[in-house]
A and B are shown apart, each in its own frame.
Chain A
Amino acid sequence: MLILPLRIKCKQQALRPSCGKDFMKLQALSHYDHDTDTRYGDCILLYNATVLVVYDCGHKMHAEAVEQFLLNNSLITTIYLVVSHNDSDHTDGMIELMEYLHNHEYNVTLYSALYLKSARTVLKQFDDDRRTLSATKEHILETFDNIKEIVEKAEDLGFSVKNAEVNASFAGCVIVGPTEEEFSEVVAKAIKDGEVSHIEGETVMNAASIQLRCTLDGQLTTLLCGDASPSYLHNLDTYQIIQLPHHGKLDNAEEIFNALKSPYSKQFLVSDNTGSGATSGGSDALIEYMKEEKMTPAHNTRYGVVHLPKLSLGSAGSTKQGVKLGEMDSKCWR
């Protein structure tokens, strides 16, 4: 009598992947109290019943939202924090969040680019014998000041701090980029004296954002990429959901669409909480472009918190059902 209900439960889980307690889901946080002027920056949560991954935390309001999320999901005890890159709209809420997690005794691991570990590789990028390893390390710490502060804080709080190197995996997520070769080029450009450094028109801070692959609901392979340069994103066709980097900036998105064999069959995520400042950028042009190209609109945080996978059934862009144009009388129709 006791076994039967358990069997039924397992069968339901097999039929409905979202029932699985280990399957990851995604929430991309938005703006607050209808305030679309403030630049809240990025904060994307990947979670199941017991684990939470926080990919960026760009504002203290996001930190508070994560705290509320944890209050509502009390089985979660293990937290992974990922800092995609040094920019403040990806890091500004991280210290407050870490203090909360410490005070509430969560088991926390921070993944960040620990560029000092690659200082020798960075040094090789310079065609300048006068540069020393110690000076290069100092420059790295000066240039990547937000990351330095976060890493030092995490160490002070007794958190585990790990280098976000390619193939590092946790909670079913895997860091897939950038490679040391790619980010060392970025770091070298960033610390060159007197140079406004850009890669593909982006500030170098953005270019080498940490890229995270995670599978949602056990089936939707998803790529989070911060503000990464499209040329550093690889194997794009293997993902079902792709975050369009740099808050949905159109030229970056177009590069990704062009790199994909079939952009119409993908879902796209945009974290656009860029506010209304003159230099805020954002996804206005992308939205128009996707409409003109008849693409399914991206899941965009400018309209509110994004939850993935979507619960609704049969939405355009997610179905693989269709009509094969084989012979009308074939006895072998599927």
Chain B
Amino acid sequence: MRWIVSAGADIVVSKAQLEARRIFIAEVTTATVSPWSPLQIPHTPRLSFFHCNSTDGIDGTFITAHVDEVYALCALPPIARGSLVVANTCIWERMAHKRILAQLMSQNRSIRLWFAKQEISIDICGIFRQSTTLENLGQFDFQTSFSERELYRYRRNGLLSAIEKAFQPVSPIILPGE
């Protein structure tokens, strides 16, 4: 599995938190995890990330970033050609998760996408948003989303099974009410 985290100061926060996130990855995958290294998307200097790899045999990508960063990452062939993407991010704009899946499927018809479980919040403009929040809860030593904490709770089931429990699958079909 490839793990990508936005290098934004609001997400990474500190070196210590980044290292705590790597320990978390080792615990949920029970695999060896490489050190973090910087990642830059070509021609988009504004967006920068860190990434590492776990030797769990899964050909997929787990992304913790703002939703537009996730969108940019999912346009990259190395990510879209994997078997799955886990987007630990907000839906924010209606159908954003469907657009990301459509973008992935334009390169790989069989890819699966999971999104973090969302809560409804109201932003300062008074607009309802489907969102996920990184919070300092528990003793993880870095800010986690609800779905990441769920991933940890279910880690003993195996990584894929824990992802299925902790994250929401995104369907290519637009269901009534979506």
Contacts and interface: CB of A to CB of B under 8 A. Distances in A.
B123 A326 contact: yes
Contact of B131 (A264, A317, A324, A328): A324
Contacts of B123: 326, 330, 332-334
A295 B133 contact: no
B90 interface: yes
Contact of B133 (A263, A323, A327, A329): A323
A326 B67 contact: yes
Interface string A66-80: 000000000000000
Interface stretch (B34-42, B77-85, B138-146, B170-178): B138-146
B138 A320 contact: no
Contacts of B68: 327-329
Given A294-B139, A295-B138, A326 B65 contact: no
Contact of A326 (B66, B137, B143, B146): B66
A327 B92 contact: yes
Contacts of B92: 325-327, 330
B93 A319 contact: no
B143 A323 contact: yes
A317 B144 CA distance: 12
Contacts of B146: 262
B152 A325 contact: no
A322 B138 contact: no
Contacts of B152: 293-294
Nearest to A290: B139
Contact of A328 (B64, B66, B93, B136): B66
Interface of B: 8, 10-11, 64-69, 88-90, 92-93, 116, 121, 123-125, 127, 129, 131-140, 143-146, 149, 152-153
A316 B139 contact: yes
Interface of A: 262-265, 291, 293-297, 316-317, 319-334
B149 A325 contact: no
Nearest to B13: A323
B121 A324 contact: yes
Contacts of B67: 325-327
Contacts of A324: 90, 121, 129, 131-133
Contacts of B64: 325
6 contacts: A317-B137, A323-B11, A323-B134, A325-B65, A325-B116, A328-B66
B148 to A, nearest CB: 10
Given A294-B140, A316-B138, A326 B11 contact: no
A329 B127 CA distance: 15
A295 B138 CA distance: 4
A316 B8 CA distance: 22
A295 B139 contact: yes
A332 B143 CA distance: 22
A315 to B, nearest CB: 9
B134 A325 contact: yes
A323 B90 contact: no
Contacts of A322: 133-136, 143
A268 B65 CA distance: 31
A327 B93 contact: yes
Top 5 A-B pairs, shortest CB-CB distance: A322-B135, A332-B125, A332-B123, A326-B92, A322-B133
Nearest to B46: A328
Nearest to A315: B136
B16 to A, nearest CB: 14
A298 to B, nearest CB: 12
Nearest to B11: A323
Nearest to B63: A325
Contacts of B124: 332-334
Given A294-B138, A325-B11, A325-B66, 10 more contacts: A264-B137, A293-B138, A320-B135, A323-B10, A327-B68, A327-B92, A328-B8, A328-B66, A328-B69, A329-B68
A294 B142 CA distance: 11
Contacts of A333: 123-124
A47 B88 CA distance: 43
Interface centre among A265, A297, A322 (most CB of B within 10 A): A322
